[in-house]
Structure 1
Amino acid sequence: MHLSSLLHAISMATALLLTSATVRAQSASDLMGSGDVFDRKFQAGKALEYYLPAEKLEPQNVPLLVRIARQYRHLMTDATTSAEKLRLGGSALSYGRRAAALAPNDSEAQLSPAITYGKMLPFQGTREQVDASPRIKAAADKALKLDQRNDVAWHVLGRWHQALANIGVLKRTLGGLIYGKLPTSTNEAAVACFDQAIAINPNRLRHYIELGRTYAQMGRTDEARKFITQGMAMPNKEHDDPELKERGRLALAKLP
C-alpha cells in the first residue's frame, strides 16, 4: 500500500471512531434530534445511525420506536427485491408492534403496525394477506378512536375498504376458504374515508391519488381522472410520494 493510501485509510478509520464515540456520548434526546434531521431529508440509513443507539439507551421510548419503524418502511420502499422488502418490513413491524404495546392510548403508535402491514401486502401470498387484513382494520379503527383527526389513519382505512371492494365474487369463489374469510366492503366506504382524510389534511397527495383510484374501480372515469391528476400535480413532500405518483400514472393509463 502506498504511503498516501495508508494515511488516507488511517484518517478515515480515525474519523469513524471519533464519530462513533461522539454518538455514544450523546443522550437519547440528542440522538433523536440528530436522527430527525435525516428523517426530514428521507435519509433513512443515516437516521437509523442515531435512532438505533438512542433505542439502546431508551428502549421504551414510544416516539423513537415509531420513528425507527418509519425508517425501515422507507428502506423497504427503496429495496429492489421482494425478499429484501419483506425483511425490512418485518423490522418495521417489530418496532411498530413494540410501540403499540407500550402506548395503547397513542394514535400514532397504534397506527404504525397497520401502515407496515399495508406496505407488505403486495409482496405476500394470499394467506398472509388474508391474515393481515383484520389486523390493519383493527389498528386503524383504534387509531381513529384515539384521534379522529388522524388523516393517515383515515387513509389506511380507505385503502382497506378499497382493497376489499376490489375482491369480486369470482375471486372469492375461486379463492374458496381463503378469500371467504375476508369481510366484504364497498368503494363507497373507501371514498368516504379518503374524503375525510382530505378534509383533515388537504396537503397530502396520497389522499387524492387513492381517491381517484377508487373512482376508477367504480368506473367513474371523470372523477378518477380529476383526483389522480390533482394529486400528481402536487409537490413531493413525503418519502413515498414518487411511488404513489407512479401508481397514479398507471391508473390514468388504464382509464378509457
Structure 2
Amino acid sequence: MKQILLVFLLTCTSALFAQDNTVLFKEAENLERSFKEPEALDKYKQILANDAVNIKALVKATELSCSIGGRQENKNDKRLSFESALAFAQRALKVDANSAEANYAVAMASGKMTEVETENKKIVAYVKDTKAFADKAIALNPNFGKAYFVLGRWHYEMVNLSGIKKAAVKLFYGGLPEASLDNAILNMEKCKILEPYYMINYYFLNKAYKDNDKPAKQIEVLTKMVKLPNRTYDDAAMKEDAQKQLQQLQ
C-alpha cells in the first residue's frame, strides 16, 4: 500500500511540475517578446529547478546568457555571463550528446568564451570547440539555421583575428585553420534562408560583404535588415546601425 501511495505521489508531483513548466515557458517567451531578457532567464532557471535535464530550457538559458553577457561593460560580469552560458550548454550536451540544439549551444557559448579568455591554450580550445560543435549540430540537423550562423561567424572571426590571437592560434592549433570570407558568407546566407528574421546574422553578413568589397550585396542585406521586426533586445540597435550604413552607401 505504501509503495502504491508513493508512486501516486510521485506521479502527481511530476504532473504538477510539467504543468508548472508549461506556464513558465509561456511566461518566459512573453518576457523575451517584451525584451526583458534577465527576467526571461530567471524563468528558464525556474524551469530547470523543476526539470534539470530540460534541453529546451538549457539552450534558451545559454542563448540569453550570451546575449546579456554581450552587453555587459564590466569584464568580470561579461565573463561570468559567458561562463554561465557554457555551463548551461554543457549540461544540455550531457543530457543528449546527439541533440543538434545542445551541440549548437556549446558552439555558441564557446565562441563567446574566446572574447573573454586570456590564456592562449584555452582560447584555441574554444576556437576548436566552436567549429567542431557547430559542424556536429549541422550534421545532426542540416536545416538548423542558427548553427550555420555560428559557423559563419567562426569563419569571419578567424579571418579577422588580431595579431596576438592569430599568433596564439597558429602556435596551438598547429597552423591557422582553413577559414575564409567566402565560407563565412556561404554559411550566413544559408542561415538567412532558414532563419529569415535572425537579425544578428544579417549584421555579420553585412560585415562579411563589406570586408569582401561587395557594396551592392551590403545594400541588399542592409535594406532587408532595416525592415525586419525587432525580436530581441539588441535588434533595435543593430537596425539603427544598419540604417546609418545604408545612408552612407546610397
Match for 1:164 among 143, 153, 158?
158
TM-score in terms of structure 1 length: 0.75
Contact (CA 8 Å) 2:29, 2:40: kept in 1 or not?
Answer: yes
* RCO comparison, higher one (Cα < 8 Å, 6+): 2
Alpha-carbon distance in 2 for matches of 1:117, 1:254: 34
Q: Distance in 2 between matches of 1:176 and 1:116?
A: 22
Q: Which residue in the other structure is 2:59 paired with?
A: 66
What does residue 129 of structure 1 align with? 123
Query: Residues 35 and 194 (structure 1 numbering): CA distance in 2 closer, same or farther, change over 3 Å?
Result: closer
Question: 1:236 corresponds to which letter in structure 2?
Answer: N
> Given residue 148 of structure 1, which amino acid in structure 2 is its aligned partner?
P
Q: Aligned pair in 2 of structure 1 residues 50, 170: CA closer, same or farther (>3 Å)?
A: closer
Q: Is the alpha carbon distance of 1:173 and 1:59 closer, same or farther for their aligned partners in structure 2, counting shifts above 3 Å?
A: closer
Aligned equivalents of 2:165 and 2:69: distance in 1?
29
Q: Residues 247 and 120 from structure 1, CA distance in 2 versus in 1: closer, same or farther, beyond 3 angstroms?
A: farther
Name the CA distance, whole Å, in 1 between partners of 2:153 and 2:218: 15
Say which is worse superposed, 111-120 or 245-254, in terms of deviation: 245-254
- How many aligned positions are there? 232
Asked if residue 235 in structure 1 is aligned to residue 229 in structure 2, the reply is yes
Q: Which has the larger radius of gyration?
A: 1
> d(CA) in 2 for partners of 1:202 and 1:152?
11
| Counterpart code for 2:216 | D
Deviations 1:28-78 (A, max 9, x none): 343333333323323222223433233222111111212222232232133
User: Match of 1:145?
Assistant: 139
Structure 1 residue 27, shift from structure 2 partner: 3.1
SS at match of 2:130: helix
Residue aligning to 1:28:
21
**Is the CA contact 1:211–1:228 (under 8 Å) kept in the aligned structure 2?**
no
**Could you say which residue in structure 1 is the equivalent of 2:96?**
103
What is the aligned counterpart of 2:79 among 79, 86, 92? 86
Do the aligned residues in 1 keep the contact of 2:33 with 2:231 (CA within 8 Å)?
A: no
TM-score by length of 2: 0.77
Contact 2:145/2:194, CA 8 A, preserved across alignment: yes
Is the 1:103–1:110 Cα contact (8 Å) retained in structure 2? no
Map 1:2-81 → 2, pairs under 5 A: 27-81=20-74
Match of 2:214 among 214, 220, 227: 220
Q: The residue matched to 1:239 in structure 2 has which SS?
A: coil
Tell me how far 1:89 sits from its aligned partner: 0.9
Shift of 1:170: 10
Contact 2:59 2:89 in 1 (8 A): yes
Aligned 8 A contact 1:209 1:232 in 2: no
1:112 aligns with 2:105: yes
- Greater shift, 94-103 or 112-121, is seen at 112-121
SS in 2 for 1:27: helix
- On the 8 A contact 1:166/1:217 being kept in 2, the answer is no
